[in-house]
Amino acid sequence: MSSKAPAPMPLGDKLRYGAEAAAFFSFIGLTRLLGLHASSAFGGWIGRNIFYRVTPIMNRARENLRAAFPEKSEAEREEIVVDMCDNLGRTVAEYGHLAKFSMHGPNPRLEIVNREYGQTACDSGKGVMFFSGHFANWEMMPFIARQLGFEGGEVYRPPNNPYIDRWLVAQRVANGPADQIAKGVQGTRRIFTLLRRGKAIFLLTDQKTNEGIAAPFFGREAMTTPAPAMFALKLGSILLPAVNERIDGGRRFRMTIYPPLQYTPTGDQDRDVHALTCLINEAVEKMVRAKPSMWLWIHRRWPTSREQDRLRDWRGQELKTDPA
Position 310 pLDDT exceeds 80? no
Per-residue pLDDT at 320: 45
SS3 70: coil
Check residues 3 and 210 and name the one with the higher pLDDT: 210
- CATH number attached to the domain at 104-321: 3.40.1130
Position 157 pLDDT exceeds 70? yes
pLDDT 10s digits, 109-125: 999 999 999 999 999 98
What's the CA gap between 168 and 173, in Å, rounded?
9
pLDDT 10s digits, 166-194: 999 999 998 899 999 999 899 999 999 99
**Angle, helix 11-34 to helix 162-175, in steps of 10 degrees:** 40
Per-residue pLDDT at 323: 36
Please spell the DSSP secondary structure of 112-167, one letter per residue.
EE-HHHHHHHHHTTS-EEEEE-SBSSTTHHHHHHHHTT--EEEEE---S-HHHHHH
Q: Evaluate whether 296 touches 84 at the Cβ level (below 8 Å).
A: yes
SS3 223: strand
pLDDT 10s digits, 248-297: 888 899 999 999 999 999 999 999 999 999 999 999 999 999 999 999 99
What is the pLDDT confidence band of residue 7, given thresholds at 50, 70 and 90? confident
CA-closest candidate to residue 142, choices 154, 131, 134: 154
Average confidence (pLDDT) over 10-18: 87
Per-residue pLDDT at 66: 96
99-103, 189-193, 230-234, 239-243: segment of lowest average pLDDT: 99-103
Average confidence (pLDDT) over 208-213: 85
Position 311 pLDDT exceeds 70? no
Per-residue pLDDT at 317: 54
What is the pLDDT confidence band of residue 324, given thresholds at 50, 70 and 90? very low
